[in-house]
Each structure stands twice: as structure tokens, then as C-alpha cells.
Amino acid sequence: MAKLIPAVERIARARKFIEQARTLPVPADGLGKNDFSYIATVRDLLRQGKDMIKFISQTAGVSVEMKAEVKKVYEEIEKAEKEILA
């Protein structure tokens, strides 16, 4: 059976995915940020971040502060996608 990951750890892992997407080197092959592989990799990392936190808000017994933190991470993911791929 799969081990349950605490919400705090899930949020930390989601932030690591955001950081990985931000530090991903832009290809120097002339296409830069328009390289489909680069775009797919960035979006995949950010999707993994979203997947880590998507059910925290729906879990019973989660505090209001934790739900606010999840919302903040979602906003960070959206902001990162716009900044990285712009």
C-alpha cells in the first residue's frame, strides 16, 4: 500500500517542482523558449506540482491556514508558468 504523504510535505514538494521548472535551462538551439520539448518539460513539472496539492483542500481536518497555503501555491504555479514561458 502507498505511504501517505503529509500535507506540509506535499506543499514542500510542489514548491520544489516550481523551482525545478524555473531553473530548467533554456535550450540554446536557436528556438529558445519556443522549443516544444522545453515547453512540455516546464508544463510537466508544474503539473506534477499541482498534482501534489490538488486534494489537500478537499481532505477532512485540514486547517484554514493550510487551505490558504494551497491556494498560494496554486497562484505561484500560475505565475511561474507565465514568467517562464513568456
**Dihedral angle, C-alpha 25, 30, 32, 34, nearest 10 °:** -140
Q: Which amino acid is at 50?
A: K
- From first to last of its 86 residues, the chain has per-residue pLDDT tens of 667 889 999 999 999 999 999 999 998 887 888 889 999 999 999 999 999 999 999 988 899 999 999 999 999 999 999 999 98
Q: How many CB atoms lie within 10 A of CB 57?
A: 15
- 37 Cα distance to chain centroid: 18
**What residue spans define the domains of the chain?**
7-24+31-85
Q: pTM value? A: 0.90
